[in-house]
């Protein structure tokens, strides 16, 4: 009998988070399907990064639970009982590991966080368990920096550093990519170029992406769904039904307005 995947790729159920007595997130219920691109928006301090950190396993919820499916490469859907036993052993081994970042996720921050004393290639190698030069080189090709392998991070532009960070994140072929305002510090043109790169890689690599952004336009440009967090809840879960690649036309503006209107509604209330 074939074992089929029933659950969503990422399931956030009744998650609550407080720091001391301050409740930041009251009750978050979200399901993300494998391959979806979800953006999270909301006013500053509403808990977007905290939610992302909890998805990564870098922070523990105060209540509720977050479940993540195993790697797509894992033999979940198989009829072989030997492979299933192997899989079960692997799962229990994983379950015994300390709860740091989950094994099949990669996190990208607003700062590239490269090691200045390592070359571009060696920074990317850090993202790969076996430190393979070949895989690191492939990842750099994906982000258009194959010719910068031997250079030091200090001589790269901000956008190029973020490309290296993206290559480092992709080098281990993650299933889930968590992006916390990764383009926030870039100029408008570089930002749009990086958005296109992220969209292309998301499609080519079959990734599932959760992006936290302040930029409503960026959320509409990239996401299948935009979640707006307000007062500790998901106040809006909007499916962006525009074709890709997205043009900044009246349809685009319509979705931007729906989200902005909702954001402003809260800030005025
Ligand atoms: N480790 C922590 N200890 C105490 N309070 C924290 C901690 N981490 C976050 N907070 C608080 O939780 C709230 C939400 O923070 P978070 O960074 O998740 O918000 P955000 O929506 O991502 O904000 P921004 O858009 O400004 O980045 C803030 O009030 C913040 O000060």
- 15: which 2 tokens? 């998650």
Probe target for ligand 1 pocket from 39, 40, 49, 181, with the most ligand atoms within 8 Å of CB: 49
- 73 versus 233: the higher-pLDDT residue is 233
The domains located in the chain, with CATH, are 10-23+35-46+60-268 (3.40.50.300)
Measured from CB, residues less than 6 Å from any atom of ligand 1 are 19, 24, 42, 44-50, 214
How big, in percent rounded to 5, are the helix, strand and coil portions of the chain? 40, 20, 40
Rounded to whole angstroms, the Cα distance separating 93 from 146 reads 36
Residue 236's alpha-carbon distances to 97, 216, 230, in angstroms, are 35, 13, 9
CA-17 nearest atom, ligand 1: 12
CA-52 nearest atom, ligand 1: 18
Probe target for ligand 1 pocket from 22, 41, 45, 266, with the most ligand atoms within 8 Å of CB: 45
Query: What's the mean per-residue pLDDT of the chain?
Result: 86
pLDDT per position as a tens digit, 76-95 = 322 233 333 343 344 344 44
Backbone angles phi, psi at 11, to 5 degrees: -130, 120
Q: Across 54-104, where does the E strand assignment appear? A: 63-68
Probe target for ligand 1 pocket from 24, 40, 60, with the most ligand atoms within 8 Å of CB: 24
Lowest mean pLDDT among 2-16, 42-56, 197-211, 237-251: 2-16
Per-residue model confidence (pLDDT) at position 268: 66
CA-46 nearest atom, ligand 1: 21
Say how many Å lie between the CA of residue 247 and the centre of ligand 1: 33
Q: What is the ipTM of this complex?
A: 0.97
Q: Could you give the dihedral angle defined by the CA atoms of residues 199, 203, 207 and 208, in that order, rounded to the nearest 10 degrees?
A: 70
pLDDT per position as a tens digit, 99-148 = 344 547 899 999 999 999 999 999 999 988 888 899 999 999 999 999 99
Say how many Å lie between the CA of residue 93 and the centre of ligand 1: 32
Say how many Å lie between the CA of residue 24 and the centre of ligand 1: 8
Per-residue model confidence (pLDDT) at position 185: 87
Report the candidate in 206, 183, 214 with the shortest Cα–Cα distance to residue 196: 183
Rounded to whole angstroms, the Cα distance separating 68 from 65 reads 10
- 265 versus 25: the higher-pLDDT residue is 25
């Amino acid at each position: 009998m074939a074992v089929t995947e029933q659950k969503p790729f990422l399931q956030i159920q009744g998650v609550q988070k407080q720091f001391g007595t301050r409740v930041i997130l009251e009750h978050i219920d979200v399901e993300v399907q494998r391959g979806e691109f979800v953006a999270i928006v909301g006013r500053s301090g509403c808990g977007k990064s905290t939610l992302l950190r909890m998805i990564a396993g870098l922070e523990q919820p105060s209540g509720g639970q977050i479940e993540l499916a195993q790697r797509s490469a894992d033999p979940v859907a198989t009829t072989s009982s030997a492979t299933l036993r192997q899989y079960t052993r692997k799962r229990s081994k994983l379950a015994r590991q300390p709860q740091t970042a989950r094994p099949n996720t990669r996190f990208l921050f607003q700062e590239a966080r490269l090691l200045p004393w390592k070359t571009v290639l060696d920074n990317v190698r850090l993202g790969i368990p076996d430190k393979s030069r070949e895989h690191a080189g492939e990842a750099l090709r994906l982000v258009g920096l194959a010719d910068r392998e031997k250079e030091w991070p200090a001589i790269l532009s901000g956008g190029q550093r973020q490309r290296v960070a993206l290559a480092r994140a992709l080098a281990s072929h993650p299933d889930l990519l968590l992006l916390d305002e990764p383009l926030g510090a870039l100029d408008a043109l570089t930002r749009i170029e990086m958005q296109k790169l992220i969209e292309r890689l998301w499609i080519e690599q079959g990734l599932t992406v959760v992006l936290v952004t302040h930029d409503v336009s960026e959320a509409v440009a990239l996401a299948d769904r935009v979640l707006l967090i307000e007062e500790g809840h998901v106040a809006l879960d909007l499916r962006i039904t525009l074709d890709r690649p997205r043009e900044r036309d009246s349809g685009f503006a319509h979705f931007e307005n729906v989200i902005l209107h909702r954001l402003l509604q809260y800030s005025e209330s």
